[in-house]
Chain A
């Protein structure tokens, strides 16, 4: 009984207590990553673009030839890798997070609309989905970036739009299935409007597939951004993003592997945290699983 009272007073604490050791560790790792990104300007001792040609390609501390003050070593222009990683993480996380939300907002709305309305609306939306899949994305990216130039806002929109069709497909298919469920028919028999059916009866039952798609899309956007950067279409150098750092560092792999390793490990960590927390959120969102 006291535990219950405590849980009511301190929901955060109760939540933490309900977690297993694995999820606690992953959650802390996630918190560290987010904090590192947010606090980048205060954590970094050097600017991310400050060059020091005297100290090029220095290895991380603890290796022969390391230079004090450069924890993760330096890159080919003598820039501090730690600073670049922190700023890169900051940019990559915000791009991926906002891009995912844009894709979700467009895709889930259109998918839900297609599934509920059916008929011509559905045919039109699904035709748009097919078109999006058929046109090479880099082509669209080239066109948009040539028109509007590469700014943070344009990048977010571009990366979000790049994934909307997957949300739309999954949500539309799942909505079609749910529309045939008796509980939706019961709601219609009770006089519920299509809007109410979509928001009260369909959307909460769509959380699981949406969350799974979000985790996939989050990682995809990180990779997409790096391939755009590699083509010179993404965030412009010398601004650091994790993907761009991997792309540039590839050339120095034989002589300075740390340039690739540091951002790669971060990408890995971010993706891992997102996947685990996504699965976790999906299980928690399902009342049937939560009861067990």
Chain B
């Protein structure tokens, strides 16, 4: 008898049908992945299983959900309260918002135990410490009194999992639990879930859009699209012989590491030249008016981007890649170094002197929802830079808008509408059209596809490649997703702790990574092939990067890039042993300590 059986489930939000006739089952101890893009109904399904969908304004219009012999669709709210967090637990995407920011972490977990197990006082405290230890949170006693903002993203997600597992549920629903995390942190969380599953025998319903993660963790896969089940099969069959066209399309769109980089353009004069660029931020001191230490966000970075070339900038969150991008465009102050755009130095110019040069380089941002002014029509939005620079008259705006829309593959009818009337991918096209309006030589794209579905992301990267081929545009393409970067970049720069640790032609960096950090990053990328799923092996610790926070006026240690191949440079490193070919690890030093523990029983879980 399956642990969870969903029969012919239909869900609706008002008149909008979110899910149509979905049936699937989860056996005890099994991991089922629910895969789909936005609007597929996968999160609505999770809400329905917890019967939280009514609170979000939706309703179950047909079908049945059974947990063993309990009919959840017929359960009363009081019954559901006993089931939620007790027999079915849930882990959310964003651990920062899913945790109460003003409540100590231990107290939040203790609350679950009090509600479902009736534990109080010392017994609850002990159980919380045990729960923290089970998810390999180092120093659980210390974490008990800490708050969510004091922990790294990976640790926060571990607290969420500890909370979910506190009552040893039969079923864990994980709704995109690693989407907001860095790849190395993701690898740690995935291996933790596998380990815990092997220990406790719980079933996992894993909701994700990432086929790489599916390949890592799932036993069976249910593919959803716009509320309909496209396919259901064991994970190996999904990847070997997908039946549905949609699954095949999803596979094709999923970026795969090692699927080849674009051919290098002819060498030319650099469009963007960055020499020894440094950006620091002052931190508050211990006393008011006392000079505080400085955070070195970008340290002594040099690189160049040629005409018609794309340089991919990869790094984990907080490594300084967005700061570097903004510093290149003088959107934030530069503390040392030189930036040249088409040969002209940008550093040292006043804001007014800088303004006319801004048309040479434009920017595309990560969040297409926030980067378009909600009050302007599309025609005004996308022609604004041209109007500012006087390259278009007020009368000519209409024609220019039409031309730009055509260029990015949107209809001219879009012109009179507002940004909120478009989908994420269409909005990103509008952002690109806006950047193109002044015919820039360089576009700095900061995580331009991170907020988009894989199939839409693919269309956007294809569009960027087409624009590059047509107009000889140069791109500085920033992403945390190394597989996406590979698809578009002629060269790759890997950033860690404010420094470029390795830079070189894409295929060289990926095939023969010279710096240990690059190797670690590559090893953590999930491979969309369940056959290559291996036991998680422990990886040696890296030398920690030099400290980023230094007393005011202190210069960071100067590090020099060494040539390791043709046009391929890396920081010299003292790390001795090369890394094993496949491994998962976490970035946080605290997480890393625990990794050896997490790693050992992982083979049994998969």
Contacts and interface: CB of A to CB of B under 8 A. Distances in A.
Contacts of B359: 190-191
Given A186-B431, A288-B420, A191 B363 contact: no
Interface in A175-192: 181-183, 185-192
A190 B385 contact: yes
Contacts of A193: 355, 388
A189 B370 contact: no
Contacts of B431: 186
Interface stretch (B229-237, B342-350, B372-380, B522-530): B372-380
Interface in B392-451: 418, 420-421, 431, 434, 438
A209 to B, nearest CB: 14
Interface string A175-217: 0000001110111111111001000110011000000000000
A182 B421 contact: no
Contacts of B374: 205, 287-288
B280 to A, nearest CB: 18
Interface in A64-89: none
B65 interface: no
B384 A182 contact: no
A119 to B, nearest CB: 13
A221 B431 CA distance: 44
B226 to A, nearest CB: 22
A191 B385 contact: yes
Contacts of B389: 190-191
Interface string A132-160: 00000000000000000000000000000
Interface string A272-291: 00000000000000011001
Given A291-B420, A291-B421, A189 B363 contact: yes
Please indicate which of the listed interface residues A187, A188, A189, A204 has the most CB atoms of chain B within 10 Å of its own CB.
Answer: A189
A238 B356 CA distance: 63
Given A190-B384, A190-B438, A191-B356, A288 B418 contact: yes
A219 B555 CA distance: 59
Interface residues of A, number: 20
Nearest to B359: A191
B365 interface: yes
A183 B370 contact: yes
Contacts of A182: 365-367, 370-371
A191 B385 CA distance: 7
A189 B358 contact: yes
A102 B147 CA distance: 46
Nearest to B384: A190
Nearest to A207: B375
Nearest to B386: A190
Contacts of B88: none
Contacts of A205: 373-375
Contacts of A185: 326, 331, 363, 365, 371
B362 interface: yes
A204 B363 contact: no
Interface in A214-264: none
A287 B418 CA distance: 8
Given A288-B420, A291-B418, A291-B421, A187 B358 contact: no
A192 B388 contact: yes
A190 B388 contact: yes
Contacts of B354: 191
Contact of B434 (A181, A190, A204, A291): A190
Contacts of A183: 370-373
B329 interface: yes
Contacts of A196: 388
A193 B355 CA distance: 8
A187 B431 CA distance: 11
Nearest to B369: A182
Contacts of A287: 374-375, 418, 420
B174 to A, nearest CB: 30
Given A182-B367, A205-B373, A288-B374, A192 B420 contact: no
A291 B418 CA distance: 9
A97 to B, nearest CB: 26
B362 A189 contact: yes
B95 to A, nearest CB: 23
Given A288-B418, A291-B420, A291-B421, A188 B371 contact: no
Contacts of A288: 374, 418, 420
Nearest to A186: B371
- Report the 8 A-B pairs with minimum CB-CB distance, sorted nearest first: A191-B358, A190-B385, A182-B371, A204-B375, A182-B365, A189-B363, A191-B355, A183-B373
Interface of A: 181-183, 185-193, 196, 200-201, 204-205, 287-288, 291
Given A185-B371, A192-B384, 6 more contacts: A183-B370, A183-B371, A190-B358, A191-B389, A205-B373, A205-B375
21 contacts: A181-B370, A183-B371, A185-B365, A185-B371, A186-B431, A186-B434, A189-B363, A190-B358, A190-B384, A191-B354, A191-B355, A191-B359, A192-B388, A193-B355, A200-B376, A200-B384, A204-B375, A205-B373, A287-B418, A288-B418, A291-B418
